[in-house]
């Protein structure tokens, strides 16, 4: 397989090899592809989770388990904000 890189990406690959962290350009590219694969897996898992939550919400709506938008907003405004972890 032959891959063409932009000049900036080629410099990046050479810097990684020169740093000693990688033994060859192929190792840098393989690591990048592994990371891309992992990122894709995490995105799929997140989307599956969101779809499950949406399906649960739709099931609740179909069962008549709905909340008044006005009451929900009142509750949100009364509830102090909580700190959340940053997503990586």
Arithmetic mean of pLDDT, 48-61? 96
Q: How far apart are CA 45 and CA 52, in angstroms?
A: 11
Q: How far apart are CA 42 and CA 19, in angstroms?
A: 29
Q: Model confidence over 20-52: pLDDT tens digits?
A: 999 999 999 999 999 999 999 999 999 999 999
Q: How far apart are CA 50 and CA 58, in angstroms?
A: 12
CB atoms < 10 A from the CB of 13, how many? 19
CB 13 within 8 Å of CB 25: yes
Q: Spell out the domain ranges in the chain.
A: 7-78
Q: Model confidence over 1-23: pLDDT tens digits?
A: 899 999 999 999 999 999 999 99
CB 22 within 8 Å of CB 31: yes
Look at residue 38 in the predicted model and tell me its pLDDT.
Answer: 98
Tokens of 56: 């649960």
Look at residue 87 in the predicted model and tell me its pLDDT.
Answer: 67
């Amino acid at each position: 397989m032959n891959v063409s890189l932009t000049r900036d990406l080629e410099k990046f690959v050479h810097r990684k090899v020169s740093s000693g962290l990688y033994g060859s350009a192929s190792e840098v590219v393989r690591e990048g592809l592994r990371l891309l694969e992992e990122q894709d897996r995490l995105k799929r898992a997140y989307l599956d989770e969101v779809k499950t939550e949406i399906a649960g919400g739709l099931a609740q709506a179909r069962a008549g388990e709905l909340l008044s938008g006005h009451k929900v907003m009142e509750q949100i405004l009364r509830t102090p904000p909580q700190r959340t972890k940053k997503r990586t």
